[in-house]
Amino acid sequence: MMHAASSKERYEGLLCALGDTREGGCTYGEAMVVGIMVQSIASLNYINYQLLVINFNADTPGAPRQWWFGGGTDLTPAYIFEDDVKHFHSVQKGACDKFDASFYPRFKKWCDDYFYIKHRDERRGLGGIFFDDLNDYDQEMLLSFSTECANSVIPAYIPIIEKRKDTPFTDEHKAWQQLRRGRYVEFNLVYDRGTTFGLKTGGRIESILVSLPLSARWEYDHQPVEGSEEWKLLDACINPKEWIC
Amino acid sequence: MMHAASSKERYEGLLCALGDTREGGCTYGEAMVVGIMVQSIASLNYINYQLLVINFNADTPGAPRQWWFGGGTDLTPAYIFEDDVKHFHSVQKGACDKFDASFYPRFKKWCDDYFYIKHRDERRGLGGIFFDDLNDYDQEMLLSFSTECANSVIPAYIPIIEKRKDTPFTDEHKAWQQLRRGRYVEFNLVYDRGTTFGLKTGGRIESILVSLPLSARWEYDHQPVEGSEEWKLLDACINPKEWIC
C-alpha cells in the first residue's frame, strides 16, 4: 500500500490553533507535503516531510510570518534483521551527514523520543530520523536537507522489501506482526501530533487516519518468552539501540 | 473472550485527578466494579457498572465525600438483525422501568451521545444504556438499579449469541466486521473516558486496554454501497434509532 495524504486541513487546523480567527486574516504561502506509508510482511515504513509556511496578513509589510520544517522516517518491523536495520539507519545517516555531522545523532534521538508509546514505555519500532518545528537553519538549507531525506527513503527501504518479501512466515509470526501493528495504532491515535491535532480540529478523516495499518491485533497481557525473537524486538523498542557506530 | 478488569489504578488515578496529593490524605471506602467484554462474530457487547466512593480524610467528621454511579452496556454488531436489537433494548428498558419510567429514554440517549466517534460523526454501535456521575438519587436505590442493570446483561445478550453463533459468514462479512472493530478501537483510544483517563494517569495498561477487540481493520475511504446491509448498519450508527416504541 502506498498513499499520499493532502494537507489543506492541516493548514486550516494550524491557523485555527494559532488563534487567528480574523476573516481572511491569514493565508499560507508555500508548501511541500509528502506522506507515504509502505507496508509489507517484512516491515513497515512511514515517511512524511513537510515545509509549513504561515503568513498572517501577507499583504501587510512586517506582518508576522511563521515557518518550520518537520518530517521523518522510521522502521517498524515485527522481527529484527540486524543487517536491514543497520542498512536503514546508515542511509539516513548518509543523508544527514551531507549537511551537518550533528544531524544524525540529533534526529535519531528525536525519533526515538517521538515515537514513544508512553503507556507501554516502549517505542513503536526501531527508529530512524525525525524532526519538527525546525527553523534554526537557513530555509533553503533545510529545504535541501528535507528533500535529501525524502529521496533517501527509497534506497533505505526498498532493498529491505526486495530482500525479505518472499521470506516464509508462520501463523505465529503473523500474529506477532499484528500485535505490533496494534502498538502502531495505539501510538498514532493516542500520541501522534498530526493525528491527534487532526482529530481535534475536524480535518478530513481519511487523510488524517491514512497511516493506520490495514489490520491489527490485541491480546490480553501478551508477554514474549525471554530470549525469543519477539522478545528481542520488544527489548529494542524499550531500550533504543545505536545501530551504527 | 471474557474479561473482568480490576480498578485499583482507577481509584488512584481519580484521587490524583481530584487534586488530593496529601500523604495518606484520602481513602476510598466501597467499590463494586465489573467490566465484561464479550465478543463473537455475531456481535460484541460491553458492560461496566461501578460505584465509586471517595472519602477525604475519612476519620475526620464532616470531611468531604464524593460518590457516584457509572455504567452501561451497548450492542455493537457488524450487521443489523432487527429482532436482536429490539430484544437487547427491550431487556434494558425492562430493567430501567422497574425503577423509573424516565430512566430508559434518558440513559438510552446518554448511551447514543457517549459512544459517539466525533471525527467520524457516527456511533460505535447500536447503543443500549449508559450513565456516569450519577448521584441524583438515593445511593441504595442506585445500587439496586446498577445491580439490576448488570443482571440484565445475560438475558439481553446471551440469547443473541446462542441464536447467531452458527450463522455462516463470508470473507466479506468478516472484513466488514473487522472494519467496525476498527471504529471500536478509535472510540476507545480517542474518546472513552475511562481509557483516556487511564492512559494519562499511568494505570495498569492491560486492565485499561482490556476492552480492545482481538483484531481490527482499516481501509482507506471505505464507503458501503447505498442500500446494502453494511450501509444500513452505518446509517443506524450515524442516525440513532428508537428500537422499541
Digit-coded pLDDT (tens) for B8-29: 444 444 444 444 443 333 333 3
Does residue A216 sit in helix, strand or coil? strand
Judge contact between B148 and B98, C-beta under 8 A: yes
Q: Which chain B residues are closer than 8 Å to A199 by Cβ?
A: 118-119, 190
- Which region among A87-101, B99-113, B207-221 has the lowest average model confidence (pLDDT)? B207-221
Helix A82-97 with A103-114: angle, nearest 10 deg: 130
Digit-coded pLDDT (tens) for A148-167: 998 898 899 889 888 888 88
| Cα–Cα distance measured from residue B78 to residue B25, given in angstroms and rounded to the nearest whole number | 47
| Cα–Cα distance measured from residue A159 to residue A155, given in angstroms and rounded to the nearest whole number | 7
Nearest Cα to Cα of residue A194 among A33, A31, A3, A2: A33
| Cα–Cα distance measured from residue B108 to residue B179, given in angstroms and rounded to the nearest whole number | 25
The three cell numbers of residue B237 are 450508527
Helix extents (H) in A98-138: 103-114
Mutation choice for B interface testing from A37, A39, A119, A199 by most B CBs within 10 A: A119
A221 → closest Cβ in B202, B206, B219: B206
Q: What one-letter code names the amino acid at A234?
A: L
User: Length of chain A in residues, anyone?
Assistant: 245
Please name the residue that has the C-alpha cell 442506585: B142
Are the Cβ atoms of A215 and B220 closer than 8 angstroms?
no
Residue A10 pLDDT exceeds 80: no
Digit-coded pLDDT (tens) for A114-144: 999 999 999 999 999 999 888 889 888 998 9
Digit-coded pLDDT (tens) for B66-98: 788 888 889 999 999 999 999 999 999 999 999
**Helix-then-strand count for chain A, H and E:** 8, 7
- Please state which CATH class domain B8-238 belongs to: alpha beta
Q: Which chain A residues are closer than 8 Å to B202 by Cβ?
A: 119
Contacts of A97 (CB under 8 A, 6+ apart): A103, A104
Average pLDDT of A22-49? Answer: 48
A190 → closest Cβ in B119, B199, B210: B199
Digit-coded pLDDT (tens) for A181-239: 999 999 999 999 889 988 988 888 998 898 898 999 999 999 999 999 999 999 999 99
Beta-carbon pairs below 8 A across chains A and B: 65
Nearest Cα to Cα of residue A39 among A184, A244, A192: A184
Please name the residue that has the C-alpha cell 488530593: B20
Digit-coded pLDDT (tens) for A67-104: 888 888 899 999 999 999 999 999 999 999 999 999 99
For chain A, percent helix, then strand, then coil, each to nearest 5? 45, 20, 35
| Cα–Cα distance measured from residue A35 to residue A150, given in angstroms and rounded to the nearest whole number | 10
The residue extents of the domains of chain B are: 8-238
**Res. B57 pLDDT band, cuts 50 70 90:** low
Q: Which chain B residues are closer than 8 Å to A119 by Cβ?
A: 198-199, 202, 205, 208
Closest-CA distance of chain B to residue A190, Å: 6
Residue B157, burial from CB neighbour count under 10 angstroms (0-12, 13-18, 19+): buried
Give the pLDDT of residue B228: 97
Judge contact between B3 and B37, C-beta under 8 A: yes
Q: How far is CA A52 from CA A71, A192, B234, in A?
A: 11, 17, 36
Q: Does B22 touch chain A (CB under 8 A)?
A: no
Give the pLDDT of residue A36: 47
The three cell numbers of residue A70 are 518537520
